Amino acid sequence: MEIKEIDKNNTDTLEQLKAMLVYAFPHAYADCADEEVETLISDDRILLGAFDNDMLLGFIGAIPQYDLTGWELHPIIVKKEQRYLGIGTALLKALEDTIAKKGGITIYLGTDDEFYKTSLSNTDLYEDLYDKIKNIKNIGKHPYEFYEKNGYKITGVIPDANGLGKPDIIMAKRIRKLQDENK
């Protein structure tokens, strides 16, 4: 497996990327995958892929925010049959390294709970919010645990972001040490 920047002119790779978007998030991209691919390959963004020869196994992207110090991870997708093999972790590490080289300090993301896969869904998060975050439970293979295993922390939630009882879980990770800033 090789992780490298996605060639924005390679139509075969972009078709694979589009198919992965639609498969992973049909509710979001079934009717607008072409537009999303165009957005993902914008010059200001980072887009990395995990390849086995010419086959795209997964990809990860990031959007610069807060000048270049904060970056939003969007999206990360690994083919279903390639999951749990370390590809997602390798993509995440490559993205972190790439962003750090550009001067980035923090990566953040929103990981939606649209399908009631955590204890934060289907409840009123305006009551006892911090206790609910502290005691979060994964009840349906929600990816927040993947990010936690890779050093990301839940920094908040947006209650009802995706409809009543469907929050967006906000996570972040500092990729440079505090003392690096003071040198």
Asked if the structure places residue 163 within a domain, the reply is yes
Asked whether residue 121 falls in the same domain as residue 88, the answer is: no
Asked whether residue 87 falls in the same domain as residue 118, the answer is: no
pLDDT tens-digit map of 77-100: 999 999 999 999 999 999 999 999
Please state, as a whole number, how many other Cβ atoms lie within 10 Å of the Cβ of residue 163.
Answer: 9
pLDDT tens-digit map of 111-166: 999 999 999 999 999 999 999 999 999 999 999 999 999 999 999 999 999 999 99
Give the domain-ending residue among 104, 123, 142. 104
Asked if the structure places residue 100 within a domain, the reply is yes
Asked whether residue 99 falls in the same domain as residue 14, the answer is: yes
Give the domain-ending residue among 104, 131, 154. 104
Confirm if 169 and 108 have CB atoms less than 8 A apart: no
Query: Tokens in use for 143?
Result: 């990816």
Asked whether residue 119 falls in the same domain as residue 52, the answer is: no
Q: How many domains does the chain have?
A: 2
Q: What is the domain-level CATH number for residue 144?
A: 3.40.630.30
Read off the pLDDT of each residue in 23-41 and give the average, rounded to a whole number: 93
pLDDT at 68: 83
Query: Tokens in use for 15?
Result: 């078709």
Asked whether residue 61 falls in the same domain as residue 8, the answer is: yes
For the entire predicted model, the pTM comes to: 0.92
Asked if the structure places residue 183 within a domain, the reply is no
Enclosing domain of residue 45: 1-104
Asked whether residue 86 falls in the same domain as residue 44, the answer is: yes
- In the chain, where do the E strands start and end? 2-5, 46-52, 55-65, 70-78, 106-112, 153-158, 168-174
What pairing do the DSSP bridges indicate for beta strands 70-78 and 106-112?
parallel
